[in-house]
């Protein structure tokens, strides 16, 4: 799911995150190789607002600067996971059971690499998802990317 560089950044941030009662949801490196963007998605027990983002920026920035993951310039973004929250760990897949999710596999499984359906949770190391009334088991280590498929109810 994460590149080696993303994993190393995630691991470097997780210890300090626990001290601040913050979860590092995931780390993403995007953009041009000469000036990439490092996105750090955070969450807290009470959600994420401007104050949480600002406070997290204060301790995340020095850690990333010390690691200096890219020669030259890079941009750091600290963000909430948003409506299409990324799912990375077994705990994420268990916590969001019942939600509609979109999963992209590293390799095709049963002739397809993209799956959208209701997340049923985990069994051993497999993510369980209901697609068209059928339960599918997708190996967690075979998932390239997964996220909750956000919905907005405008009827209220």
88-108 b/e with 16+ CB inside 10 Å = b?
beeebbeebeebebbbebeee
What average pLDDT does this structure show over 102-117?
Answer: 94
User: Please, what are the domains in the chain?
Assistant: 4-79 (3.30.300.70), 90-148 (2.30.30.100)
Q: What is the pLDDT of residue 34?
A: 83
What average pLDDT does this structure show over 26-51?
Answer: 92
Q: What is the pLDDT of residue 156?
A: 74
What average pLDDT does this structure show over 101-108?
Answer: 96
CA pseudo-torsion sign 130, 136, 137, 143: negative
* Model confidence at 68: pLDDT above 90: no
What average pLDDT does this structure show over 34-40?
Answer: 92
Q: Tens digit of pLDDT for each residue in 6-25?
A: 999 999 999 999 999 999 99
* Model confidence at 151: pLDDT above 90: no
What average pLDDT does this structure show over 96-120?
Answer: 95
Record the pTM: 0.85
* Model confidence at 86: pLDDT above 90: yes
């Amino acid at each position: 799911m994460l590149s080696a560089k993303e994993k190393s950044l995630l691991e470097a941030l997780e210890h300090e995150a626990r001290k601040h009662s913050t979860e590092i949801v995931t780390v993403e490196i995007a953009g041009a190789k000469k000036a990439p963007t490092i996105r750090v998605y955070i969450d807290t027990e009470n959600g994420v607002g401007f104050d949480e983002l600002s406070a997290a920026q204060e301790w995340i920035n020095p850690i990333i600067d010390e690691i200096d993951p890219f020669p030259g310039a890079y941009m750091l973004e600290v963000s909430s996971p948003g409506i299409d929250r990324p799912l990375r760990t077994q705990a994420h897949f268990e916590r969001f059971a019942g939600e509609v999710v979109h999963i992209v596999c590293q390799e095709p499984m049963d002739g397809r690499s993209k799956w959208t359906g209701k997340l049923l949770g985990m069994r051993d190391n497999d993510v369980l998802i209901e697609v068209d009334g059928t339960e599918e088991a997708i190996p967690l280590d075979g998932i390239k990317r997964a996220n909750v498929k956000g919905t907005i109810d405008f009827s209220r």
